[in-house]
Amino acid sequence: MDNEGLSSFEIAQAQLDTVAEMLHLDPGIHAILRVPMRELHVSIPVSMDNGEVKVFEGFRVQYNNARGPFKGGIRFHPEETIDTIRALAAWMTWKCAVVDIPFGGGKGGVICNPKEMSNCEVERLSRGYIDAIWEFIGPDRDIPAPDVYTNPQVMAWMMDEYSKLKGCSSPAVITGKPLCLGGSAGRGDATARGGLYTIVEAAKHLNIDLSAATVAVEGYGNAGSNIAILMNSILGSKIVAVSDSKGGVHNVHGLDPDKVLRHKMETGSVINYSEAENLSNEELLESAIDILCPAALENTITQSNASKIRAKMIAELANGPTTPEADEVLYDNGVFVIPDFLCNAGGVTCSYFEWVQNIHNYYWEEEEVHQRLNKKMAKAFQDVLSESLERKVSMRIAAYLVAVARVVEAMKARGWV
């Protein structure tokens, strides 16, 4: 629940409802798009290291496959809920459509805390999850990938388990794999790099000099740490504050994002980094910076803090960081938001490249991946910006208008409606 009492999926549905009205969607099409096509609820028994068997609850939501196989990550999180996975699966549908890749949307999750599990326990859980859902996934059915607290190693175990069950090597069933197993060059930082390309486009539109810009990053996982590193090293932007689930650090003269990451790897958090002062997540969100990158979980920017945000631009690398009420406040205050399923679509776009390379069994150089990613992200950004300027709506509504129209076009062409 966000602080306005809406669940993530209710937010996703409310966003769709707004756009359905603007697009004069046929009520039948709207009804199909409001709910997932299929949901799998599974129980995964895992032998723990102490000899006990623990049964974990897992989900896979297959939201819509009008444009191609379902696609989306798998989260391992102690507070996972089916509601969040539904919302994330819906957002994957719009994400794949807005960057125009031939996939539908899905998402998976297991309620667990991998931080408190051994490597062997995480491996058995990863394999058990695939044992439970393997008949419903596949390179032309549903292609999972990493998400919160899952990584290339987890993808490797899952791909291996699926390949064993199928009796043949099947790298294209899952993306975000290690390079030695058919992963793509450039997939590791693709979410952040894709976000960077949209920030560059937005800065051109807003006339912001990124080499002089100050940046705060909320969340220092894969997307957050990489956006800090890339913005600093490629654009010369100054990273003045970063945070994680334990708190944040800031330094008005700029942080060295690589050093902060090393500190986090050694100590488990960015807090108490020696060349900075600690600050709270709330203070980070409200600090006087040019660009704010929420890169953690859902519902970070809410009605209670939106009016205090001083950034000119928000680049949403997380999924669902802003509530609808907060969105209105930001729009009224003239804060330019690059909405989540556009800003963070670089990950799945590179996943698409990985899938293409797996199917062709021919691998691209990193430079080629970057160029193709840049082209896709810049085009998606410009499509959304044009819609936003033409219709005089926020970038989020514009992104929905572009994405939903593409999904509807595919549904109609298939004769579903």
Residue numbers of the site for ligand GLU (CB under 6 A)? 71-73, 95, 145, 147, 175-176, 319, 344, 347-348, 351
Cα separation, 247 vs 122, whole angstroms? 26
Residue 47 region, left (φ>0) first, then alpha (ψ -120 to 50), else beta?
beta
The DSSP output letter for 138 is B
Strands, sheet with 336-338, edge to edge from the N-terminal-most edge strand = 277-279, 247-250, 238-244, 214-218, 291-294, 313-315, 336-338
Min dist. Cβ of residue 176 to ligand GLU (A): 6
Beta strands in 282-403 (DSSP E): 291-294, 313-315, 336-338
The residue (of 2 and 147) whose beta carbon lies closer to ligand GLU is: 147
The residue (of 76 and 273) whose beta carbon lies closer to ligand GLU is: 76
374 with 348: CB under 8 angstroms?
no
- 94: its two tokens: 């719009």
The residue (of 145 and 338) whose beta carbon lies closer to ligand GLU is: 145
The residue (of 249 and 315) whose beta carbon lies closer to ligand GLU is: 315
Residue least distant from ligand GLU (Cβ)? 73
Cα separation, 67 vs 38, whole angstroms? 16
Min dist. Cβ of residue 125 to ligand GLU (A): 18
Catalytic residue among 54, 71, 95, 107: 107
For residue 138, what are the β-bridge partners? 142
Min dist. Cβ of residue 182 to ligand GLU (A): 14
Does 107 qualify as catalytic in the annotation?
Answer: yes
Min dist. Cβ of residue 235 to ligand GLU (A): 23
Which strand (E) or helix (H) includes residue 194?
helix 190-206
Min dist. Cβ of residue 333 to ligand GLU (A): 27
3-state SS class at 147: coil
Chain centre to alpha carbon of residue 218: 14
223 with 295: CB under 8 angstroms?
yes
Which amino acid is residue 215, in one-letter code? V
Min dist. Cβ of residue 323 to ligand GLU (A): 19
- 1: its two tokens: 């629940």
The residue (of 128 and 176) whose beta carbon lies closer to ligand GLU is: 176
Nearest to 397 by CA among 22, 35, 106, 5: 22
- 409: its two tokens: 């076009």
The residue (of 175 and 358) whose beta carbon lies closer to ligand GLU is: 175
Residue in the structure block whose two tokens are 């039948």: 28
Return the exposure string of 214-252: e unless at least 16 CB atoms fall within 10 Å of the residue's CB, then b: bbbbbbbbbbbbbbbbbbbeebebbbbbbbbeebbbbbe
Nearest to 240 by CA among 287, 180, 183, 184: 287
Catalytic residue annotation: 107
